[in-house]
A and B are shown apart, each in its own frame.
Chain A
Amino acid sequence: MHAFNYESPSTLADALKLMKAHGEKARPLCGGTDLLIQMRAGVRQPEFVVDIKKIKELRELKFSARAGLRLGAAVSCIDIAENEEMRRNYPGLTEAAHLIGSLQIQNRASVGGNLCNGSPAADSTPALIALKARARIAGPRGEREVPVEEFVVSPGRTVLKPGELLVQLLIPAPAPHSSDAYLRFIPRNEMDIAVVGVGASVTLDGDKVKAARIGLGAVAATPLFAQKASESLAGKKLDDAALETAARLASEASSPIDDMRGTAEYRRHVTGVLTRRVLTIAAERARKR
């Protein structure tokens, strides 16, 4: 691994100062489960590594029925998975966080880091998209918010500019009769990167869908919000025909590639399969709320 300097500021202000001072040469470190691998492979070679785990705002996990969820960028996946309120209110995001890598990885990795890594296959990102999450970013010019589906711009690259940090993820409170779910397809039962990942949230109005959001992972250069597929469900009963249409539209929204994890053809097919399955699970959960 190349040589670098390490800092671990304890306030957001100090962290931002360091990030500003070192600009493109700096890279924040949270769980390190992607960054250390990338540094070893020479893919990223920051001269300054800024450990953000000691910063209060980034470690916050705060839920209120009115304001929704404030999820600090450095909250570990296991802290999310073991949080009762998270499991009750955002079961889809929680299950996504709980299947990133092994427990060893979840004990270190964060949903914020999963997003900032910019991988198209990040498990928690489609779940965040389904929940209409917004990313709260702080930087030299103050703060800004970006919808999560716009956060990743290409594989490994995000909207973060030199000097900026992802502080928190802001997620609306779940509407009545709504819930979410996340499914991914992997060849083994654990430890793999998603071949396809689909997150969905469903809000019901009686036996009809009031609103739905579908997020897709690993089927394009960035995680996607499957807008047409999501909107196709509004006002419909979630029957076979509606599921079939949503599945087809989700498949059509994807633009996957052939690689060692699956062929494009396979990914498109499985996108449809998982979309059907994940919507069914989310709706079942929504019915109970």
Chain B
Amino acid sequence: MEATTSNGKFKVIGTRPIRHDGIDKVIGRAKYGADYAFPGMLFGKVLRSPHAHARIKSIKTDKALKLPGVKAVVTAADLPEAANRLEQAGEMAINPHYLSMNILARDKVLYDGHAIAAVAATSPHIAEEALKLIEVDYEVLEPAMTVDAAMKPGAPILLPDLRNREEGDKQTNVAQHYQFKRGDVEAGFRAADYVVEREFNTAMVHQGYIEPHNAVGIYNADGQATIYCSTQGAFDVRSLSAQVLGVPVGKIKVVPAEIGGGFGGKTTIYLEPLSVLLSKKTGHPVKLVMTRSEVLRASGPTSGSKIKVKMGATRDGKIVAAQVWMAYEAGAFPGSPVGAGAMTILAPYTIENLQIDAYDVVVNRPKTAAYRAPGASNAAMASETVIDELAEKCGIDPLDLRIQNGVKEGSPQVVGPPFRRIGFIETCEAIKNSDHYKSPLSGPYRGRGVASGFWFNAGMQSSATVNIHTDGTASVVTGSPDIGGSRASMAMITAEVLGLPVTDVRPLVADTDSIGHTDVTGGSRVTFATGMAVYEAAQDAARQLRERAAKVWEVKPEDVELHDGVLSLKEKAEGKAPMTIKEMATKLARTGGPIIGRASVNARGVGPAFATTCVDVEVDPDTGKVQILRCTIAQDVGKAIHPSYVEGQMQGGTAQGIGWGLNEEYFYDQKGILRNTGLLDYRMPTCLDLPLIETILVEVPNPGHPLGVRGVGEVSIVPPPAALANAIYRAVGVRMTETPMSPPRLLKAILKKRAAEETQSAAAD
């Protein structure tokens, strides 16, 4: 099925134009947050905790303030108390009280790297020297680094005021317990011929954007502040900073700079309020940029987790029961994506009997933030490898088992109404029919694995304006920071609706004073929701163009049509020749003034996304190292507006998923100090670690969007860890239940299996 506009096939949508902001980015002119400089600007640095868990007894800043060049020092004493309630920010909920405590520690430090104070000085080197002169007296406490350690009786308590509904007034590290139930699990397992039960552990990982967090704050004498920063959501930076600083939202303007990657990690705030506080104290613009080590220690990675999955199937491959227990590391404050993990873990399958118990657990690690389909990759590592094992026991091709049990239109969701039109089964079939899956894989220690993934995608609020210029070109303005080429898509949607060449539409991302409220670039929502606002704003501009033409021709607006950039009468009339938008544009002043098309949406009709990934690996059985030979991803992308950037999302998410599966992990020592604080030992895939990543765009249009768009940004990261585990199993016969499946872990499993086989054959002799 091909989505179309009212006048037939698309002309612009589905083509691959050069992105409008591209040239600035290849010549080094594009301005990212750290590239901003202002006269008199000072440089800020942040003092961070060297302990995982400690009480702050005192902070002395006088020596630092005396260092020549130092202009100000701020601590938590400079911040007001913030409200203690949950607020939605992007895909994650944020509690301002805890957010404030994360910006600057109050009574306790809760992780290695927790911010304690910030300094502004005339050079970054002097600011750094000043940090060494701040004296902090700590009472070091025992840390709780894992969910096991934090959940056991007598565990060190991180937040004395934290309570949950089930434990009454007891101090706890468990912030939340979610439960989802359907049918009768016990009966389901009794009906199963095969039951697989496994326990999984996945390590904390980081989004790994190449651009560190940054902010320039400028506080004016009239109390107005401006923040320049690289963020996924300028409006979120504004509202969250306002809450932390205790000022009304209207006192802050946020200018979103170009952003060097975020993947969810730049949906919250760290440096932004500090830049404003320091600017207020000094009267100068203040720039703060994190080092890589600060990014890894103290921004928002995603949760490590412990997950137990039990699934049962009948001999003919019907999955009849599933039971899941899962606990996610929230970091120092509540709010892991375990709820999303729980709602995604079984989402691709129709299972009559299921129970899911999910726990959000605080540990002495940095507060987690969103990371591409937050919570879903951990979950899929567990469920999708168990599915693989069930398929093996049933003697059914793993893709066929998925197709047999897979959700389709009308299937129930774990929470919410039944699915509308979705393309899960289509992605499985696309892999099944791919050249990759049909090509034989031969050679020792080689194996092929498949896995699938689900992500909800998000709607939320967006605003857009479309301005018709006096020469008949247009600009489209949104509030969605462009992370992966979305400006091109906004221009393409505008061009499609107005019938203009895409080069005649200039897209731009505006600051918080220049466009209506727009939620975060996250949840794969920009092309869907902001795209919907743009579509409607362009329709609004088109309507006004028809009205103006009607005025010129002295007819009713409904008698005028706009096709391919040409305004004409539905029924031809003498002396009223069709007009191009360009010709009409010259007449705007005389017919009522400029045209601004506008729209705002709180988008409904979100179409969820599914992906299925196939990967071939070769394992070195003597070292446990995995090489990826070939990788293909099939994803339901709804309608691809700019296919190249859709492919880019699929490839990028796949690469991150591969890194997650094979080598990336937070490595803490016994005292809770992060050991791998650089990109040398936080091992993201290099160019040499990956093959070309083949993409199959499955286009099942989303019925909830006028152009069929569904979010494409996130789901690609979900299947790879499980697909790799399944491929490794076929290569060397071991079922991996931990990520990363790093060489030492894999070798250990291989040697264990070898030893078991030797014992067995010795016993048989």
Let me know if chains A and B touch directly in the complex, using CB atoms closer than 8 Å: yes
A187 to B662, CA, bound (A): 9
A1 to B124, CA, bound (A): 9
B622 within 8 A of A: yes
> Beta-carbon contacts of B345-376 to A below 8 Å, as 1s and 0s?
00000000000000000000000000000000
Of A3, A187, A269, A270, which one neighbours B742 at CB under 8 angstroms?
A187
Chain A, Cβ-Cβ closest to B742: A187
Chain B contacts with A in 102-128, Cβ cutoff 8 A: 125, 128
11 contacts between A and B (CB under 8 A): A185-B623, A188-B683, A188-B686, A189-B686, A191-B680, A191-B686, A195-B743, A261-B681, A266-B743, A269-B747, A273-B623
Contact B667–A260 (Cβ < 8 Å)? yes
Of B125, B681, B751, which one neighbours A260 at CB under 8 angstroms?
B681
Which residues from chain A contact B622 at a C-beta distance below 8 Å?
270, 273
Size bracket of the A interface: 20 to 34
CB distance from B577 to the nearest CB of A (A): 62
Contact B686–A260 (Cβ < 8 Å)? no
> Beta-carbon contacts of A174-204 to B below 8 Å, as 1s and 0s?
0000000000010111111101000000000
Which residues from chain B contact A263 at a C-beta distance below 8 Å?
744
B689 within 8 A of A: yes
Chain A contacts with B in 41-99, Cβ cutoff 8 A: none
Q: Would A193 and B681 be within 8 Å (CB), given that A187-B663, A260-B667, A273-B622 are in contact?
A: yes
Chain A contacts with B in 257-289, Cβ cutoff 8 A: 259-263, 266, 269-270, 273
CB distance from B753 to the nearest CB of A (A): 15
Which residues from chain A contact B662 at a C-beta distance below 8 Å?
187
Contact A266–B688 (Cβ < 8 Å)? no
B129 within 8 A of A: yes
Chain B contacts with A in 650-682, Cβ cutoff 8 A: 662-663, 667, 675-676, 680-681
Q: Would A193 and B689 be within 8 Å (CB), given that A185-B625, A259-B675 are in contact?
A: no
Contact A262–B623 (Cβ < 8 Å)? no
Across chains A and B, which 10 residue pairs bring their CB atoms closest together, nearest first?
Answer: A260-B667, A189-B688, A266-B744, A273-B622, A260-B675, A190-B688, A187-B663, A260-B676, A262-B744, A190-B686
A141 within 8 A of B: no
Contact B125–A1 (Cβ < 8 Å)? yes
B412 within 8 A of A: no
B685 within 8 A of A: yes
CB distance from B494 to the nearest CB of A (A): 41
Chain B contacts with A in 496-527, Cβ cutoff 8 A: none
A2 to B125, CA, bound (A): 7
CB distance from B672 to the nearest CB of A (A): 14
Q: Tell me the A residues contacting B by CB distance below 8 Å.
A: 1-3, 185, 187-193, 195, 259-263, 266, 269-270, 273
> Beta-carbon contacts of B127-138 to A below 8 Å, as 1s and 0s?
011000000000
> Beta-carbon contacts of B726-761 to A below 8 Å, as 1s and 0s?
000000000000000011100110010000000000
Chain B, Cβ-Cβ closest to A270: B623
> Beta-carbon contacts of B603-641 to A below 8 Å, as 1s and 0s?
000000000000000000011010100000000000000
Q: Tell me the B residues contacting A by CB distance below 8 Å.
A: 125, 128-129, 622-623, 625, 627, 662-663, 667, 675-676, 680-681, 683, 685-686, 688-689, 742-744, 747-748, 751
Contact B744–A188 (Cβ < 8 Å)? no
Of B125, B675, B683, which one neighbours A187 at CB under 8 angstroms?
B683
A261 to B747, CA, bound (A): 14
Contact B743–A3 (Cβ < 8 Å)? no
A47 to B264, CA, bound (A): 42
Which residues from chain B contact A270 at a C-beta distance below 8 Å?
622-623
Which residues from chain B contact A260 at a C-beta distance below 8 Å?
667, 675-676, 681
Kindly list 17 other residue pairs between chains A and B, CB separation below 8 angstroms, not including A190-B688, A260-B667: A2-B129, A185-B625, A187-B625, A187-B662, A187-B743, A188-B663, A189-B686, A189-B688, A190-B686, A191-B680, A191-B686, A192-B681, A193-B680, A260-B681, A261-B681, A262-B743, A269-B747
CB distance from B449 to the nearest CB of A (A): 20
A222 to B670, CA, bound (A): 24
A190 to B743, CA, bound (A): 15
Chain B, Cβ-Cβ closest to A276: B622
A187 to B680, CA, bound (A): 11
Contact A188–B689 (Cβ < 8 Å)? yes
Which residues from chain A contact B627 at a C-beta distance below 8 Å?
189
CB distance from B511 to the nearest CB of A (A): 34
CB distance from B661 to the nearest CB of A (A): 12
Q: Would A189 and B125 be within 8 Å (CB), given that A260-B675, A260-B676, A266-B744 are in contact?
A: no
CB distance from A169 to the nearest CB of B (A): 25
A259 to B685, CA, bound (A): 20
Chain A, Cβ-Cβ closest to B659: A188
Which residues from chain A contact B667 at a C-beta distance below 8 Å?
260
Which residues from chain A contact B623 at a C-beta distance below 8 Å?
185, 270, 273
Chain B, Cβ-Cβ closest to A41: B293
Of A3, A185, A188, A193, which one neighbours B125 at CB under 8 angstroms?
A3
CB distance from B311 to the nearest CB of A (A): 31
Q: Please indicate which of the listed interface residues B125, B129, B623 has the most CB atoms of chain A within 10 Å of its own CB.
A: B623
A273 to B744, CA, bound (A): 13
CB distance from A122 to the nearest CB of B (A): 14
